[in-house]
Amino acid sequence: MDQWTEQTAAAKTWFEALRDRICAAFEEIEREAGSDAAFEFTTWQREEEGNENPGGGTRGLMKGKVFEKVGVNVSTVHGTFAPQFAESINGASIESPDFTATGISLVAHMANPHVPAVHMNTRFLTTQTAWFGGGADLNPPIPYEEDTAEFHAAFRAACARHNPTYYDRFSKWAEEYFFIPHRNVSRGVGGIFYDHLECTDGLAFERNFAFTRDVGEAFLDVFPKLVRRRMGMAWDAADKQQQLEWRGRYAEFNLVYDRGTLFGLKTGGNVDAILMSLPPEASWT
């Protein structure tokens, strides 16, 4: 893993810079709505017996007038996987369980049911190999075709700048991944999901890092536009109930199927940061 130390540091620096820009953009929307809400940041350190440098991260959380609850987390952690979990991770094994992971993870739950919730994350991991993964998906309680089309168009353009096959592959992957089997429904209206973009050498790292940066830029460009489009719309009790029931489905996916949740819990991450993806309020009928 030592060969990737410089690359891990570069990815970490960019993820933290993206976090700062996203938080600033979201706080600006709150100001436009007449709110003084701001992100509160809490740092945490990972603990692992016998590991002098396990790393940690920062949880950013804001509860405002537009963003009922939004978390933007960054973390960089180092250590060894538990034996059984190691076998499920690309490039790791019981014999070679060491890893380093750095990434950004974001989930926004909105006050107005007409404003879509959203998820985005990008990450760089090293085991006996190294790779990028990530994606973003839109989760509207009340879908609008215009919003769905614009969200997908932003990521289609980002993909097209790097590989003509990426959007078709990664949007299909998102459709399959962000699905709730026990409900037989999709979590939202899709986006892109990718994993194991392997960095076999320095050129591959730069190529995949450039794509991952474009994914972050696409998110930062398109999502605030959708929020501003919908945040002033009137809503009623029926709209809110629809949102709360949809949030229940969202919580089910994140607790039962989401790989990021499992990875964080299995590697000694901060529980509050990991579970920041859960909505502040939900309903089951």
Catalytic residue among 119, 162, 182, 196: 119
SS (H, E, C) the chain: CHHHHHHHHHHHHHHHHHHHHHHHHHHHHHHHCCCCCCCEEEEEECCCCCCCCCEEEEEEEECCCCEEEEEEEEEEEEEECCHHHHCCCCCCCCCCCEEEEEEEEEEEEECCCCCCEEEEEEEEEECCCEEEEEEEEEECCCCCHHHHHHHHHHHHHHHHCCCCCHHHHHHHHHHHHCEECCCCEECCCEEEEEEEEECCCHHHHHHHHHHHHHHHHHHHHHHHHHHHHHCCCCCCHHHHHHHHHHHHHHHHHHHHCCHHHHHHHHCCCCHHHHHHHCCCCCCCC
Task: Assess whether 114 carries a catalytic annotation.
Answer: no
Enzyme catalytic residues: 119
